[in-house]
A and B are shown apart, each in its own frame.
Chain A
Amino acid sequence: MTATPRPPLKELLAKASPLRSGDVLAGLAAATEEERVRAQMALADVPLTRFLHECVVPYEEDEVTRLIIDGHDAQAFAPVSSFSVGQLRDWLLTDAADADTLAALAPGLTPEMVAAASKLMRLQDLILVASKCRVVTRFRNTIGLPGTFSVRLQPNHPTDDLKGIAASTLDGLCYGCGDAVIGVNPATDSLDNIIRISEMLDGLITRYGIPTQSCVLTHVTTTMEAIARGAPVDLCFQSIAGTQQANASFGVSLALLQEALEATRSLRRGTVGNNVMYFETGQGSALSAGAHHGVDQQTLEVRAYAVARRFEPLLVNTVVGFIGPEYLYNGKQILRAGLEDHCCGKLLGLPMGVDVCYTNHAEADQDDMDALLTLLATAGCTFIMGIPGADDIMLNYQSTSFHDAAYVRRLLDRKPAPEFAAWLEAVGVLDPRGALVPMSPGNRLLALSDGIN
């Protein structure tokens, strides 16, 4: 007698994954709808303990796997250790799984367990479970408190013109945006340019006493050089992924990220906390780098969150629709991926934001973004991007706008981070109820870009 061979966990995870073009491109997706649902049924019965013994990427070959396995907290895992994946999903929806319980559980969950449970969830499950998680981080303000909704102000400019960056920054501040970070993607990665932009943003924050942080999104090694040169670096940015090989294609390792964390913390520029890292991720990045090890893109995305949580970030942002239709084909796939990423990141204890976005070659439009934005906001998404008119003229994609952020805050009565909200009220941008006040032509904020060259 021989038993039916048990399919490897990574095969089950891939076939149970709701349809997306990246898994089809990788040749990992279920061949039929029925095969997909049968895989979900089989996955539901897998005991969680199996995830601690069967790694989807070999332990010996991959430092992310070693981080996950060696860092697993058995005590935190104990309350759910007898569960199957399906039972975890059911339990997460009960009132027993409240904010405190979920926070205590987070170190006991591996990314693969969380990814597996999310594959069995409908959108409303992803929303409800995420909404119960509380993740609060601090640097110059407090991000993630109940009733708040934060925004990264993204004032990019195609030639890094400082006046142009300042103009978009002013536009965003006047719409109450920028509490998560004022973060610029530079068009040019040269060290001098990075320092020039950092100094300008630091000047604005200092001059106006804005309780927020700045970031110039460049490679960690460039940020570390900028720190060595004395640049005013608040947050250290890096793109990360879920395998060692994919991270290597980004030019990073866990050791390098540790160095970057320590270098940034050494500046001690935070006033209310010391979360200094800002990470970006996105489904499909490992496949795109040829480093996916036959694992589906959503599972790998959640593994990237294991990398992120090691470094106690202020912000983690999944750039969900940026990568293009070969990974997430249309509005439907982008919608689900955004809610999955947010929910899985929150379950692992991360301050998750989402870049609700699409490119012009994806089957998506503003209606799809409105749907995802609204659902994410109800799910308690920590922050979104704020870009003038939702049109990033440097990166050539569409994200969310300052108006979109104002819409969410008005619809769901959400406020900016409390320190930032108080500042906005003091400078005459918001009224005490949190509504936008028409700007007085004499408001000194309007002089923000004066003197910048």
Chain B
Amino acid sequence: MPDVKSPVTDPIADQDSPVTPDPWADLTRFTAARIALGRCGSSLPLAESLRFKLDHARARDAVLAPFRQGEIAARLAEAGIPSLELESAVADRNEYLTRPDKGRTLSPRSRDILQGQGVGHDLCLVIADGLSSLAIHQNAVPFVRAFLASMAPSGLSVGPVSVVRHGRVAVADEIGALLGARLSVMLIGERPGLSSPDSMGVYLTWSPRPGTTDEARNCISNVRRGGLPLAEGVRKLCYLVEEAFRMQGSGVGLKDRMAPGYLPFGREPALPE
């Protein structure tokens, strides 16, 4: 049994502070969880209460921030990458959050645009705001540039990049089908975590068509600075693309067995700027 009779004062504590510190702050080196916060009475000290509030505010802003679609298209154009500005059947952000079915469907205008494109690409790329515009503003363009540069030696053909407002993951199925793509690659803003409002997800779907279900996809999650670095995400995507074309499929049958020294398409990868 511990010595419960010992005095309860902590020598480090400021005598005047109403906060009772927790004497296990050294354990924060093992986890990013909010441990050893101390307490005032039994309640949360103000400093942590405000820190939490700030993180939540940033995550909320990431969900609600307007998607700068034109800017994404312009940055792609600067890099010589053609793109199409599309939208789902969703009217506004509120409808986006409550009607996932509409976020998976293209607007009639977008469908017309895609029907005017050439068909029969090996691969189509889709960028959608999803639940974090911030994630896309920060990560999508450098990711696409590095990926296209890395896969250039493969000889696989790529259609125009679709940039979709108010899109869910499955909207890429309809886009891929209209473009006649063998594989779709979707970059989308993930549901923001309190400490990761800028996290981007990458989804691969072989033979995309409306009605495809999630077990037919592969996902690379948490791509962001501070999460899975962009360069590592690009390398993993190249590996999964190569495997998908080798086995002519994606989803539960496509296992991530990437070797530590894997080189995309046999070359040193292009690094994101």
Contacts and interface: CB of A to CB of B under 8 A. Distances in A.
B8 A440 contact: yes
Contact of B4 (A365, A410, A440): A440
Interface residues of B, number: 50
B16 to A, nearest CB: 16
B92 to A, nearest CB: 14
A436 B39 contact: yes
Given A174-B24, A365-B56, A403-B42, A388 B33 contact: yes
B31 A164 contact: yes
B27 A326 contact: no
Q: Could you tell me the dominant secondary structure of chain B's interface residues?
A: loop
Interface stretch (A188-196, A237-245, A443-451): A443-451
B68 to A, nearest CB: 19
Interface in A146-188: 155-158, 161, 163-168, 170-171, 174-175
B213 to A, nearest CB: 10
A449 B42 contact: no
Interface in A106-161: 155-158, 161
A329 B98 contact: yes
Nearest to A158: B32
Contacts of A329: 97-98
B107 interface: no
A255 B4 CA distance: 50
B20 to A, nearest CB: 5
A75 interface: no
B193 A360 contact: yes
Given A326-B99, A393-B193, A441-B10, A360 B33 contact: no
A316 B271 CA distance: 49
A361 B131 CA distance: 7
A212 interface: no
B23 A439 contact: yes
Contacts of B20: 438
Interface string A424-444: 001110000001111111111
B34 A440 contact: no
20 contacts: A24-B98, A25-B101, A156-B33, A157-B31, A163-B30, A167-B28, A168-B33, A171-B35, A325-B98, A329-B97, A360-B56, A360-B60, A366-B52, A388-B33, A389-B48, A389-B52, A393-B31, A428-B3, A442-B3, A449-B30
Interface of B: 1-4, 6-10, 20, 22-24, 27-28, 30-37, 39, 41-44, 48, 52-53, 55-56, 59-60, 62-63, 97-101, 131, 191-197
